[in-house]
Amino acid sequence: MPTIEKNPSSEDFLKSLGFPTLLVHDTFTHFDFTTPGRRVLLIGPMGSGKTEFAARVWRDAAVAGRKSERVRAMTSTGDVDRRHVFFIRSEIDKSRFQDYPEDALAFRSGYIRCGKDIAHIRDSFGLEEVMRDNPGVGTYIIDEASFFDERLAYVVRNASLEKGCMFIFPTLVLNFRRDLFNNTARLILDIATDVIPLTAYCEHPDCMDPAFYTYRYYTVGGKECPALFFDPLIVVGGDQVKESTAEPNYAARCDKHHYLPGKEYTFFTLKPLGEAAGRGDSASLVKEIEALHSNVEASLLYENFIKRYSDDEHAEKYMSSLLPGLIAEKALCYLYGEQNLISEQLLTQLVFDLDLDIPYMEKTLAANRRPVRFNQPYLI
């Protein structure tokens, strides 16, 4: 299969014009709408310009759309024309773009308006509905596809095989933990035919290395506090910089400046405590959650940090990850929502006994597809 968005003949062409031997970079070409059935992954950390690239595809499509019937034949398969681009975004993402018009495809330096060719969907069934309602659309740009259900990967693959539709996924493949984002990300990698990697500069002020990772941090009192490893996978939030314990900020970082404290604690201590609680022995977990909530210096987490990071050159940075609050809430969301280790009954009991932040937990668990309502008094 040819490499797409790359023009191997440009080097020969420049040589033929008499250019001396010099470093020739890949040509940044217009988008190819002629090849049917492509599933294109646009990957890169936050701030690498994924949405901007998607906006370029949109503008290229407008240029190609003004061309002749001959071009239509090249860009169409049956009823679908890949120059007709439609933008798909998640319903839960709506609040991120409140400052823009409803139909805006917004990126860092501006936005384009998509008119009726944009939809906010909840899941893969929503995507099927949009495709049914727009039978002539040939290209779908699906923003942050990892936020949707796994089924989406097969809906997409089948539509591209059966109808020749093209799909473009501007998406994070790695989460802030440097893991594959989730199963949906894994399946989308499986079905992709093309990958366009984008990078950004590491955003650390002392660094010029390329950044491959998304770094999550909170800002407390003007201080950068790295997110703990067991911070919730999905946090719904805006793009603006926030001073908040509940809503993080993101930056693109290189390996060296991507701080991720608490990984050892998560696997060495927190998960085993959750597993024991799942077997009915919850005393140690309750004690730890209590400490995380009201006196973090008495926690096993703190003990681990002192042992692990005291002599590290970034010790202060690592320790500042304990400044944002809600550590107990985050640990419970991890054990219940993500790892499925503790019962809803134990979760509810801890939430009420320790007077944890219910709105934060309900919002976080819902965003991570394990909704719980803590409005019933519990009975033991």
Question: Which positions touch Zn ion (CB under 5 A)?
Answer: 202, 204, 207, 209, 254, 257
CB of 202 to Zn ion, least distance (A): 3
- Euclidean distance between CA atoms 104 and 348, whole angstroms: 40
**Is-contact 256 209, C-beta < 8 A?**
yes
CB of 217 to Zn ion, least distance (A): 14
Strands 118-121 and 39-43: unpaired
Closest CA to 84 of 50, 122, 51, 57: 57
Q: Which amino acid is at 88?
A: I
**Is-contact 227 218, C-beta < 8 A?**
yes
Nearer to Zn ion, 45 or 170 (CB): 45
CB of 174 to Zn ion, least distance (A): 16
CB of 259 to Zn ion, least distance (A): 11
- Euclidean distance between CA atoms 225 and 220, whole angstroms: 7
- Euclidean distance between CA atoms 306 and 275, whole angstroms: 25
Nearer to Zn ion, 180 or 207 (CB): 207
CB of 48 to Zn ion, least distance (A): 14
Nearer to Zn ion, 20 or 205 (CB): 205
Q: Which amino acid is at 45?
A: P
Nearer to Zn ion, 199 or 284 (CB): 199
Structure tokens at 292: 């995380």
Nearer to Zn ion, 14 or 207 (CB): 207
Nearer to Zn ion, 257 or 317 (CB): 257
Q: Name the one residue in this structure whose structure tokens are 């998304």.
A: 214
Nearer to Zn ion, 218 or 259 (CB): 259
- Strand runs (DSSP E) across the chain, as ranges? 39-43, 76-77, 80-90, 104-107, 110-113, 118-121, 137-142, 166-171, 194-197, 200-201, 210-211, 213-220, 223-226, 249-253
CB of 165 to Zn ion, least distance (A): 39
CB of 313 to Zn ion, least distance (A): 14
**Is-contact 57 168, C-beta < 8 A?**
yes
Q: What are phi and psi of 73, to 5 degrees?
A: -60, -35
CB neighbourhood size of 268 (10 A) = 11
Nearer to Zn ion, 210 or 278 (CB): 210
CB of 253 to Zn ion, least distance (A): 6
Local structure of residue 164 (DSSP, 8 states): -
Closest CA to 195 of 23, 50, 7, 83: 50
CB of 43 to Zn ion, least distance (A): 19
Nearer to Zn ion, 254 or 289 (CB): 254
**Is-contact 299 331, C-beta < 8 A?**
no
